[in-house]
C-alpha cells in the first residue's frame, strides 16, 4: 500500500517554508524509490509548529513539526529507514490519527475546519470521498422552507461578529420581493491578526461553496458573490479552481443535480479597504462604487445589491451549513450554548505559546481556550489581556478569563465575539499603547464619510498619543470618554460605532495604567517614551497629493 505524506501548504505553511520541504520530500522519494505520495493539504491549525508534515504508513499516522528541508531525511528515516542519526523526538507533534495526544488539537471541536489539513483542497474527489456535496443532495430533497426551519433550529448565528440568527436572516430574504436574489459571502477578512476565513478557504473551499448553494436553494437566490480580499491570492485561486470543478461536476450552473435549481458564482476581489467588510460598503464595492457604507435600514435582505434582495453571510456561517444538514440541527445546537449553537473558529495570536487556528464549541470559557489549548503566555511572561474581535472588539483582563465565549456573555463585558481574532498580550505590553494601535488602525481605515468617524477617531488617536507621551491631564481622559460616546452613538456604520471599544474596555479594566501615564508621567509596562515628543497635533494635518506625485 502506498504511503501518504501530507504537507500543510496554506499561506501560513508556505510562509514557514512548506514549498522547500515539499521539494526535499519529493527528492527523497525519488532517491529512495519510495512508494509514497505527497499531498498538499490546507492548514491543520497548529501554525506554531509549521511547516507540518504528516506521514501515514499502514494506517499509522505521525505528525511532525516544524520540519525544515534538512530534517526531511531524518523524518523519513523514522518510517522508511533504520538510522536514528540526529532525529529529535520533540519534532513529533502527534502519534495518533485523531491527534488526541496533542492538547492544542485534541481540545478542539472541529466542524467547519474538519477537513482542513486532511484533504487536498485542490481535489474535488478528495472532498467527495469525505462526504462532499452530500449535504446539498440531502438539502434538495427538502423544501426551501424546511431548510430554513432546520437552520433556525440549529441556533446558528452569524459568525461575522454581530451574531444575527442566520435562519431568521434567510427567512427575511426568502420572503422579500424581487428577482434575481443575490447571496454574498463576506470573505473580506480585515481585522489585524485574523486568518479564519483564509485558512478555511485554503483548506476546504468546497465546503464554503456547498454552504452557499444550500443557502441559495433555501432563499431562492440565483447569483452568488464571493467577496474576497485581494491580499489572499491563494484563497482566490483555490475558489476559482473549486468553482470550475464544481461546475464540471454539476453542482453549479443550470439544473443543479437535476433539481431545476440554477446558480452561478462570481468572485469579487476587495481592494484592501477594511470598511468593505461592512455589508453596505461591500455591496457598493461590488456595484463598482467607492466602498462606503450607507444607512440601514433598508437592510440588504430587502434592498441589497442593485436594490434587490441580498443575503450576506460570513465564510464560517456558510461553512457550518453542510454539517447542520447532514448531522441535524439538534446535534449542531447541542455543541454550543442554549442561545447559540455550534463552534466558532479563532485566530489565536500574540504573546501566546501555541498560536494558530482554533475551533472551539461556543460556550467554552476563555481560560480553557487560552491556557489549555493555547498553552498560556510565552515562557517567563505573565498573561495580561486578550483582545477579541480586532479593532472593533474589546480587551479583557486575566480576571475575566472565566467568561464563556458566547455572544451575550462577551457583550456583557464590553468586548464582542467579533469575527474570531484573538490577540493575547503579556506584561510587556502597555494597554494605552495597545488601544492606541487599534485607533491608529481604525482612523486610517475610516472611509471619511461621516463626521464622528472621520474626525472623532483621529481626535481619539490624538488624545491617546498625548497620554502615551505624558502630556495629558485628567480632563483629557474625561474628554476622551465623552468623545467615545459620541463616536459610538453617532457614527454611520459599524466601523465607527465599534471603534471606541478598545479604549472603553482598556479604560474599564486598566484605568490604573491610564492614570499612571497621566498623573505620574510613568508607563508601568515601560513601553511609552513619556518624553513629551513632537507636538501631537501634527497628526492632524491633512495631506493631498496627485496621482502623479504618488507615482514620482
Partner 1 sequence: MSDVTLTIDGQLTIVPQGATILQAARRLDKQIPTVCYHPHFTPPSLCRVCVVEVENARVLAPACSRIVENGMRVQTDSARVQRARKGLLEMLDSAVDLSDAPEIQAYANAYGAEPARYGAQIKRRAFPLFDDNPFYIRDYTKCIMCWRCVQACGEDAQYTFAIHRAGRGFDAHIATFENVPLPESTCVYCGNCVQACPSGALKPRREYWLEHGLDLKELARVSQLERREKSGDAK
The residue (of 179 and 540) whose beta carbon lies closer to partner 1 is 540
Identified binder of partner 1 from the candidate list 450, 477, 504, 518, rule CB under 8 A:
450
Identified binder of partner 1 from the candidate list 323, 403, 491, 506, rule CB under 8 A:
491
Binding residues among 296-325 for partner 1 as defined by CB under 8 A = 297
Region binding partner 1 by CB under 8 A among candidate stretches 277-285, 446-454, 503-511, 517-525: 446-454
DSSP run (H or E) holding 75: helix 72-80
**Helices 511-519 and 474-490: angle between axes, nearest 10 degrees:** 140
Least Å distance, CB 162 to partner 1, is 10
Sign of CA dihedral 355, 19, 195, 52: negative
Identified binder of partner 1 from the candidate list 295, 338, 399, 552, rule CB under 8 A:
295
Least Å distance, CB 293 to partner 1, is 10
Identified binder of partner 1 from the candidate list 190, 452, 470, 502, rule CB under 8 A:
452
Q: If you write DSSP's letter for every residue of 9-32 in order, what string do you get? A: -SHHHHHHTHHHHHHHHHHHHHHH
Region binding partner 1 by CB under 8 A among candidate stretches 312-320, 339-347, 392-400, 458-466: 458-466
Identified binder of partner 1 from the candidate list 88, 379, 546, 552, rule CB under 8 A:
546
Does residue 137 bind partner 1 (CB under 8 A)?
Answer: no
Place of cell 510587556: 428
Identified binder of partner 1 from the candidate list 32, 79, 152, 454, rule CB under 8 A:
454
- Burial environment of residue 46 by CB neighbours within 10 A (0 to 12, 13 to 18, 19 or more): buried
Q: If you write DSSP's letter for every residue of 243-287 in order, what string do you get? A: HHHHHHHTSSBSSGGGSS--BEEEEEEE-S-GGGGSHHHHHHHHH
The residue (of 174 and 449) whose beta carbon lies closer to partner 1 is 449
Question: Are 62 and 92 contacting, i.e. CB atoms less than 8 angstroms apart?
Answer: yes
Q: Which residues contact 82 (CB under 8 A, 6 or more apart)?
A: none
Does residue 486 bind partner 1 (CB under 8 A)?
Answer: yes
Least Å distance, CB 135 to partner 1, is 35
Q: Which residues contact 476 (CB under 8 A, 6 or more apart)?
A: 463, 466, 467, 518
Does residue 547 bind partner 1 (CB under 8 A)?
Answer: yes
Least Å distance, CB 80 to partner 1, is 56
Binding residues among 496-525 for partner 1 as defined by CB under 8 A = 497
Least Å distance, CB 469 to partner 1, is 13
The residue (of 400 and 492) whose beta carbon lies closer to partner 1 is 492
Least Å distance, CB 501 to partner 1, is 13
- Give the up-direction half-sphere exposure of residue 336: CA atoms within 13 A in the CB hemisphere: 27
Q: Which residues contact 29 (CB under 8 A, 6 or more apart)?
A: 5, 36, 38
The residue (of 33 and 541) whose beta carbon lies closer to partner 1 is 541
- List beta partners, residue 57: 60
The CA-CA-CA angle for residues 420, 422, 424, to 5°, reads 180
Place of cell 530534517: 71
The residue (of 305 and 493) whose beta carbon lies closer to partner 1 is 493
Identified binder of partner 1 from the candidate list 194, 483, 503, 530, rule CB under 8 A:
483
Distance CA 390, CA 193 (A): 7
**Helices 205-219 and 315-327: angle between axes, nearest 10 degrees:** 80
- Strand ranges in 60-122 using DSSP code E only, listed in sequence order: 60-64, 92-94
Counting runs of H as helices and runs of E as strands, what totals does the chain give? 24, 14
Least Å distance, CB 454 to partner 1, is 6
The pattern of x and - marking residues 265 through 294 that bind partner 1 according to CB under 8 A reads: --------x----------------x-x-x
Region binding partner 1 by CB under 8 A among candidate stretches 127-135, 147-155, 259-267, 490-498: 490-498
Least Å distance, CB 460 to partner 1, is 11
All 3 cell numbers of residue 341? 449553537
The residue (of 31 and 547) whose beta carbon lies closer to partner 1 is 547
Distance CA 292, CA 473 (A): 36
The residue (of 85 and 475) whose beta carbon lies closer to partner 1 is 475
Q: Give the footprint of partner 1 on this chain (CB under 8 A).
A: 273, 290, 292, 294-295, 297, 443-452, 454-459, 462, 475, 479, 482-483, 485-486, 488-492, 497, 537-538, 540-548
Amino acid at each position: 500500500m502506498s504511503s501518504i505524506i501530507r504537507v500543510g501548504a496554506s499561506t501560513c505553511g508556505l510562509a514557514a517554508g512548506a514549498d522547500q520541504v515539499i521539494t526535499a520530500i519529493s527528492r527523497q522519494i525519488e532517491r529512495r524509490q519510495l512508494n509514497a505520495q505527497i499531498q498538499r493539504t490546507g492548514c491543520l491549525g497548529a501554525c506554531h509548529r509549521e511547516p507540518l508534515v504528516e506521514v501515514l504508513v499502514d494506517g499509522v499516522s505521525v505528525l511532525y513539526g516544524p520540519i525544515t528541508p534538512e530534517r526531511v531525511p531524518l523524518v523519513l528515516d523514522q518510517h522508511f529507514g533504520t538510522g536514528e542519526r540526529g532525529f529529535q523526538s520533540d519534532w513529533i507533534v502527534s502519534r495518533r490519527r485523531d491527534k488526541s495526544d496533542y492538547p492544542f488539537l485534541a481540545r478542539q471541536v472541529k466542524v467547519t475546519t474538519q477537513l482542513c489539513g486532511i484533504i487536498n483542497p485542490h481535489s474535488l474527489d478528495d472532498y467527495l470521498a469525505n462526504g462532499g456535496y452530500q449535504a446539498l443532495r440531502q438539502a434538495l430533497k427538502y423544501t426551501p422552507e424546511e431548510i430554513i426551519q432546520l437552520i433556525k433550529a440549529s441556533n446558528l448565528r452569524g459568525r461575522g461578529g454581530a451574531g444575527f440568527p442566520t435562519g431568521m436572516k434567510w427567512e427575511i430574504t426568502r420572503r422579500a420581493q424581487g428577482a434575481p436574489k443575490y447571496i454574498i459571502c463576506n470573505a473580506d477578512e480585515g481585522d489585524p491578526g485574523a486568518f479564519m476565513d483564509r485558512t478555511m478557504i485554503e483548506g476546504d473551499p468546497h465546503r464554503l461553496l456547498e454552504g452557499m448553494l444550500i443557502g441559495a436553494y433555501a432563499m431562492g437566490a440565483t447569483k452568488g458573490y464571493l467577496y474576497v480580499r485581494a491580499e489572499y491570492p491563494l484563497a482566490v485561486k483555490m475558489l476559482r479552481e473549486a468553482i470550475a470543478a464544481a461546475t464540471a461536476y454539476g453542482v453549479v450552473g443550470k439544473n443543479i443535480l437535476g433539481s431545476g435549481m440554477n446558480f452561478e458564482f462570481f468572485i469579487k476581489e476587495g481592494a484592501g479597504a477594511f470598511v468593505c467588510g461592512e455589508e453596505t460598503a461591500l455591496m457598493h464595492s461590488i456595484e463598482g462604487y467607492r466602498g462606503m457604507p450607507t444607512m440601514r435600514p433598508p437592510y440588504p435582505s430587502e434592498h441589497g445589491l442593485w436594490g434587490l434582495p441580498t443575503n450576506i453571510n460570513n465564510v464560517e456561517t456558510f461553512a457550518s451549513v453542510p454539517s447542520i444538514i447532514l448531522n441535524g440541527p439538534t446535534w449542531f445546537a447541542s455543541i454550543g450554548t442554549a442561545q447559540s449553537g455550534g463552534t466558532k473558529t479563532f485566530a489565536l495570536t500574540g504573546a501566546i505559546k501555541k498560536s494558530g487556528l482554533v475551533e472551539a464549541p461556543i460556550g467554552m470559557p476563555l481560560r480553557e481556550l487560552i491556557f489549555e489549548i493555547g498553552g498560556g503566555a510565552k515562557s517567563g511572561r505573565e498573561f495580561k489581556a486578550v483582545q477579541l474581535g480586532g479593532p472593533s472588539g474589546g480587551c479583557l483582563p486575566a480576571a475575566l478569563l472565566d467568561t464563556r465565549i458566547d455572544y451575550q456573555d462577551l457583550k456583557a463585558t464590553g468586548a464582542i465575539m467579533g469575527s474570531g481574532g484573538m490577540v493575547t498580550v503579556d506584561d510587556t505590553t502597555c494597554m494605552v499603547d495597545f488601544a492606541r494601535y487599534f485607533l491608529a488602525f481604525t482612523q486610517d481605515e475610516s472611509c471619511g464619510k461621516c463626521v464622528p468617524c472621520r474626525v472623532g477617531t483621529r481626535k481619539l488617536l490624538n488624545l491617546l498619543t498625548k497620554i502615551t507621551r505624558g502630556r495629558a491631564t485628567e480632563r483629557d481622559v474625561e474628554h476622551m470618554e465623552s468623545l467615545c460616546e459620541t463616536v459610538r452613538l453617532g457614527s454611520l456604520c459599524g466601523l465607527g460605532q465599534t471603534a471606541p471599544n478598545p479604549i472603553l474596555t482598556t479604560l474599564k479594566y486598566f484605568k490604573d495604567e491610564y492614570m499612571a501615564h497621566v498623573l505620574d508621567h510613568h508607563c508601568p509596562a515601560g513601553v511609552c517614551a513619556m518624553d513629551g515628543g513632537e507636538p501631537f497635533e501634527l497628526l492632524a494635518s491633512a495631506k493631498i497629493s496627485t496621482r502623479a506625485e504618488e507615482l514620482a
